[in-house]
Structure 1
Amino acid sequence: MEYKDILTAAKYSTEKMQKINLFETRNFFCDIYCLEPGQEQKVHAHHTEDKIYLVLEGSGEFIVDDESIELGENKTVFAPAGSNHGVRNRSESRLRLLVFMTPNPNFSS
């Protein structure tokens, strides 16, 4: 059985948002995204993959298509395949997210 400690896995950089892979198969991946204040994941789209963001620490502005919402700890956001989505840390604190995507785009044919 594989397991990870999401507190010790988190890594931050003042240069850019960090993505740390926890688990990955052909069918999905699970990452931790770590954003310092002012950092963002630019709005983008995945044509065939669904994404879920879960806020572990801090708060962020989540964008899905024409909507945006500020969410804090223990809140989750769904970005369906084809949607334009991203996240911004507009707070003065760190933002840590657990992110799931399926199917895994790293194994797309």
Structure 2
Amino acid sequence: MSFVKIAELKEMEYKDILTAAKYSTEKMQKINLFETRNFFCDIYCLEPGQEQKVHAHLTEDKIYLVLEGSGEFIVDDESIELGENKVVFAPAGSNHGVRNRSESRLRLLVFMTPNPNFS
């Protein structure tokens, strides 16, 4: 394991999650905020009626945090409607997804580890 000295760090990165959000009437939008070999952090933007289809990641855990709106979250055989400031955990190997059944936009902060883009 290697450690980075504070003096070696680059300028601190930050993003504005309000201005980063992008919506499309065609499909759910995924906007990457940060990405390393170990994890990623995205914003998912869903218009009413849009969904992330139920799927699974064999070795990656995922967390959904509701920033705006409400959505139906599915993890394996369970589903629950959650609104702002609620968080859902989908462990590796679980079937999971989200649907926006409301009349309003749904904006999520999503974390996944390890990052499947570096597998």
Q: TM-score, normalised by structure 2?
A: 0.90
1:86 is the counterpart of 2:100: no
**CA RMSD between the two structures:** 0.3
Deviations 1:70-93 (A, max 9, x none): 000000000000000000000000
Distance 1:15 1:45 in 2: 23
Give the drift of 1:61. Answer: 0.0
Distance 1:43 1:17 in 2: 14
Give the drift of 1:94. Answer: 0.0
Match of 1:73 in 2: 84
Count residues with an aligned counterpart.
108
Give the drift of 1:30. Answer: 0.1
**Unpaired segments ≥5 residues, structure 2:** 1-11
Between the aligned residues of both structures, percent identity stands at 98
Distance 1:33 1:21 in 2: 9
Give the drift of 1:66. Answer: 0.1
**Unpaired segments ≥5 residues, structure 1:** none
Give the drift of 1:69. Answer: 0.1
Give the drift of 1:39. Answer: 0.0
Q: SS at 1:101's partner residue? A: strand
1:42 is the counterpart of 2:53: yes
Deviations 1:4-62 (A, max 9, x none): 00000000000000000000000000000000000000000000000000000000000
Distance 2:85 2:102 in 1: 17
Greater Cα radius of gyration, structure 1 or 2: 2
Show structure 1 runs of 4+ deviating over 3 A: none
Alignment of 1:44-63 (within 5 A): 44-63=55-74
